[in-house]
Amino acid sequence: MDTAVVGLSGTVVGVVGTLATTRLGGTEQRRTQNDQSARQERATAYTKLVTACSRTYRLGYAVHVAVQDTHGRAEASPGVAEASPGVAERLQEFSLAVESAREVVSLVKLHGPEEIARAADNLVSAMSGWYREVAFLAQGEGDVQWAGEAIELYEELEERFIALGREALSRTPVPA
């Protein structure tokens, strides 16, 4: 009887051990899949923001140059220079693109981490500031130097966001 009990106990321990190993393996596999899914969602959010910002930058730069040229002609010959054709429309496109980028920041905030969410906010705030400076220039009330500084700030913050995003996506996830 003792050998039967010992044999049965050994079998039970073996089965329990197998079940525990299977459960731990399944948990680790789910964790790995969740980490991969979260990383992919972050990558998608970051990519959408960078894409929206690139589009906005192109629109903003084109209108910035056009407004700056108009501003320069107006300073050289006050009252003579008129706004370049289409500046108002391009300025409106720039404004809409800034708002689109602002909406994408929500995705970045959702997927984090906090440092990148702040960097995304700062990036779009700088873009908004650049837009305001270009709009002031278009109205003849702005300062060319301030508009230039606004675009430089935006470019600096864009580089920072991209660097933080790359770093976050390349990190090995820490087990929970």
Q: What is the CATH number of the domain that holds 110?
A: 1.20.120
Instruction: Identify the burial level of 114 via C-beta atoms within 10 angstroms of its C-beta, where 0-12 means exposed, 13-18 middle and 19 or more buried.
Output: exposed
| Domain assignment present for 153 | yes
Q: Nearest CA to 69 among 55, 90, 87, 57?
A: 87
| Domain assignment present for 5 | no
| Domain assignment present for 95 | yes
| Domain assignment present for 26 | no
Domain containing 72 equals: 41-170
Segments in the chain below pLDDT 50: 76-81, 174-176
Would you state the pLDDT for residue 26? 67
Would you state the pLDDT for residue 175? 44
- Tokens of residue 168, six digits: 């976050």
- Number of structural domains in the chain: 1
Would you state the pLDDT for residue 34? 76
Mean pLDDT estimate for the chain: 83
Provide the whole-model pTM.
0.74
| Domain assignment present for 141 | yes
| Domain assignment present for 14 | no
| Domain assignment present for 10 | no
| Domain assignment present for 20 | no
130 neighbors 75 (Cβ within 8 angstroms): no
